[in-house]
A and B are shown apart, each in its own frame.
Chain A
Amino acid sequence: MDDGSATERLDRHALVMAIWLPLGFVATALLHVGLTGGGAWWIGAGFAAIIAAFTCHVIANAMLGTSFTYGETALGAVAYAAAVLAVLATLLFASEPVAGRILLPVALGLAALLAAVILYLVIAFGARGAFERFDVIRDNNLRAASRLPHRGGRR
């Protein structure tokens, strides 16, 4: 039986989907036009739609006092990695005119997306806090007691 928190999590999940569904659709339409011959501006507009959705997601998190879930982070990372791999595959296998036409705008779009994520992390957690979220090497002591603040724990 749910005590209410699961319901709130689901409500937030639905809100996140309500953000990504329309903007993702628009981004897909724009990227499709851009990649099939529309040109760099369409690709740029597609990435702008994705960044807009990301921004709305961040705003929703701020309003609800939540953060990105592990599932969302994993999905985002996998999608981003897939996009980077697709760009590399295009570079290797696509004909030169096609690669020349789409490579630069897509690479710039992916870079802008990465910049947006980094900017969010810096604003949300500060420069050091943002770095510490990925700094797994220093957390090499697996004992639970090592996480206590007076023993130097930083989590």
Chain B
Amino acid sequence: MTTLLPSLLVLVAILGLYVAARVARLGRPAREFLDAGQGLPGWAIMVLMPGLVLAGYGLDRHFVLVADYGLQAAHVGVGLVFVAFAALALWNRMWLAARVAGLATPGEALGRYYQSVALRVVMMGLTLLFALPVAADLLGSAGRQIEGATGGVLPRMAAIWLLAFGLAIPAIIGGWRASVLVLAMQAALIGVLLAAATVLAVILSGGGGFPSLPIGNAEGILWDRIPGVIQNSAGIGKAVPAGGIFTTTGIASTVVALVGIVLSPAALYLGQTVRAGSAFGTGSVWLTAGIGAALMVLAVPVLLSLMPDGMLVAATGLFGRAPVAAGGLLLIPLLGNILAASFFVTGGVILLSREFLHRYLLPGLSPSGQRLSVRIGLGFGFFFVALSASFAPFPSAVLASAALPLAVQMLPAILGLAFLRWISRGAVLAGLVLGMLIVVFTEPPGLILFEGLFLDVPWGRWPLTIHSAVWGLVFNLLLVALASAATARDPARFERARLHDAMLRQGGTSPGAHGLLWALALLWGFFAYGPGAILGNTFFSHPIFSRVEAALGIPSLWVWQILFWLMGVVLVWWLAYRVGLGHTRDIGTRPIRLGADEVLRTPDWLSSGLARVIARRSRRRKPGAGPVDGHEARREPRRIRIP
């Protein structure tokens, strides 16, 4: 294993380098380094969408949870259908906004639509959160896995730096297009390996394991059922919920938190930079809700039941009989971490460069200068990620824990841009502040900080077994609704309505008109992973309308999961192909101008600070020259007017 796993990783790195070099040799305009000319191939998004959701949630973490909590943790897999639903609806509209109004990045889209610099700053903060602590946490996990698999021959820190180097080079050479192509290949590899490893494990074990045997789980955990609708628990770290943490509200709120991956800035940017076609439909219906959810619902419980001592022990045992397969087994969680880390860093650096560097610091930079700046930024980005993963794994993990729920708090803002024109800027900002505060104080960053500085709070993480994403989102949405009602006469609504009208003209579809779909979606959600899922515990083994006991041979909850997964695929198919959100087509008109003309200028505090540094340098260079006052030397900020 010591030689095999690093060799496989080297092969993956060489593949990335090859694709990046081929992309670079195309000689496309420098501007396309940042966004692939908004022409990413559809197949890449189709394959990357489920891979990104699985990897962003954390395959290794999910494996541990399923191994400990059994089917109640695996029930989150059904939620992939809901994530596909959200991705389809929101990415389609963000794509359309990018074409209709020339809103090239998520930050620009929200900033210009709501005329708010604060929202741009929030998006930049989220981008940084995903690009640094989240990526560092993922890379640190990958380093630990490699150290374990090689028996310490390749230490964690060395593995982290080698991985960071291997990921940085293709991104620096090939930019956004090469990164997405390489990551799509890795996503395909993860999916096929997961399916193949499950089949192989079942055959080699002689058909043992789940469902004929229970999934190896911790003591006191109900492995084959959901432990209630909700539990009066103070939260993780304060109390232990009886039977497990995945109550129906726990599952539903975790599923909502998963939507944070779709709402992360880099993921939204991915959706904006794909070329027109049916990528969203195929990717969400067949690959995410279909194959991705199938792997989570069907394959993961079976695979983990055959590995009671963990994946590493199982792979080591398999190595004697099938070494290549053992390497493939270890590659699954490892590639998941690598994929997500690479995606968040590359997308994050590109977005931060476009949103901050090219907009405020160096607004007049030429396209080739922008490309160079992103290349340098990518180098620094991967360097700092490796640095954080190596020397600050704990702070990275603590900060990373809040990333998904914080991203979910952007949902009202994005819903406003995508569908609900009555949501106003003030409402979004007020809801965002409240939601984010609640998230921070129900997740480790706020809890650790507050309890370290002041006093113990009576709640822990996930109070009442509800994920922090939903705690924040409920209050966020409530405040948004109230504040939007109060600001219904806001004059800015006319400007917002222009975008919606233009999108309706181009998109030609109004999802709000499909009442039956939304009613069925709510009903499905209630029974699939909401409170109604509690019926699945015994529905097929002890039917409620009969005294007959059915001997299925498999847990009733598993049948429930499979049934509602299949129903969910039909719902996503409806949204994609009947409502029409699964297909995008190029618009033939010029983009509309949204809001007032923007003046790109460096902020005064920034330009004056730069001027002071420059003045000090020139003073050192020219000792004969008179003293230069920083204020006197301050140049007029460079202004560029863009339509």
- Return the CB mask of B169-213 against A: 1 if under 8 Å, else 0: 000000000000100110011011100100010000000000000
When distances are taken between beta carbons in the complex, the residues of chain A under 8 Å from B189 are: 21-22, 25
A11 touches B15 (CB 8 A): no
Q: Which residue of A lies closest to B29 (CB)?
A: A1
B193 touches A25 (CB 8 A): yes
- Return the CB mask of B218-230 against A: 1 if under 8 Å, else 0: 0000000000000
A22 touches B188 (CB 8 A): yes
A14 touches B193 (CB 8 A): no
**Could you tell me which residues of chain B, from 18 to 71, have a CB within 8 Å of some CB in chain A?**
19, 22-23, 26-28, 39, 41, 43-44, 47
Distance of A25 Cα from B192 Cα, bound (Å): 9
Shortest beta-carbon distance from A150 to chain B in Å: 40
- Return the CB mask of A1-31 against B: 1 if under 8 Å, else 0: 1100011001101110111011101101110
Check B328 for interface membership: any CB of A closer than 8 A.
yes
Known contacts A14-B44, A26-B196; A7 and B26 CB within 8 A of each other = yes
Check A130 for interface membership: any CB of B closer than 8 A.
no
Check B322 for interface membership: any CB of A closer than 8 A.
yes
Q: Which residue of A lies closest to B195 (CB)?
A: A26
- Return the CB mask of B245-279 against A: 1 if under 8 Å, else 0: 00000000000000000000000000000000000
Q: Of B181, B192, B328, which one neighbours A11 at CB under 8 angstroms?
A: B181
Known contacts A22-B189, A29-B328, A32-B323; A15 and B43 CB within 8 A of each other = yes
Q: Of B19, B192, B321, which one neighbours A26 at CB under 8 angstroms?
A: B192
Q: Of B185, B325, B328, which one neighbours A14 at CB under 8 angstroms?
A: B185
Shortest beta-carbon distance from A23 to chain B in Å: 6
- Chain A interface size, under 10 / 10 to 19 / 20 to 34 / 35 or more: 20 to 34
When distances are taken between beta carbons in the complex, the residues of chain B under 8 Å from A17 are: 15, 19, 185
Shortest beta-carbon distance from A29 to chain B in Å: 4
Shortest beta-carbon distance from A118 to chain B in Å: 26
Distance of A19 Cα from B191 Cα, bound (Å): 11
A2 touches B322 (CB 8 A): no
Distance of A32 Cα from B326 Cα, bound (Å): 12
Check A91 for interface membership: any CB of B closer than 8 A.
no
Distance of A28 Cα from B185 Cα, bound (Å): 17
- Interface Cβ pair total, 8 Å cutoff: 73
Check A33 for interface membership: any CB of B closer than 8 A.
yes
Check B324 for interface membership: any CB of A closer than 8 A.
yes
Shortest beta-carbon distance from A52 to chain B in Å: 10
B41 touches A2 (CB 8 A): no
A10 touches B185 (CB 8 A): no
Q: Of A18, A30, A60, which one neighbours B185 at CB under 8 angstroms?
A: A18
When distances are taken between beta carbons in the complex, the residues of chain A under 8 Å from B27 are: 1-2
Distance of A26 Cα from B189 Cα, bound (Å): 10
Q: Of B15, B19, B192, B325, which one neighbours A23 at CB under 8 angstroms?
A: B192
B193 touches A26 (CB 8 A): yes
Shortest beta-carbon distance from B342 to chain A in Å: 16
Among B23, B44, B192, B321, chain A packs the most CB atoms within 10 A around the CB of: B192
Shortest beta-carbon distance from B38 to chain A in Å: 12
When distances are taken between beta carbons in the complex, the residues of chain B under 8 Å from A11 are: 41, 43-44, 181
Shortest beta-carbon distance from B17 to chain A in Å: 13
Distance of A67 Cα from B172 Cα, bound (Å): 32
B184 touches A14 (CB 8 A): yes
Q: Of B39, B41, B193, B200, which one neighbours A22 at CB under 8 angstroms?
A: B193
When distances are taken between beta carbons in the complex, the residues of chain A under 8 Å from B181 are: 11, 14
When distances are taken between beta carbons in the complex, the residues of chain A under 8 Å from B47 are: 18
Interface CB pairs A-B, < 8 A, 7 = A14-B19, A19-B188, A22-B188, A25-B192, A25-B324, A29-B200, A38-B322
Q: Which 3 A/B pairs are nearest by Cβ-Cβ distance?
A: A22-B192, A29-B324, A11-B41
> 7 more A-B contacts (CB under 8 A) besides A23-B192, A32-B324?
A11-B41, A25-B189, A26-B193, A29-B196, A29-B328, A33-B322, A33-B325
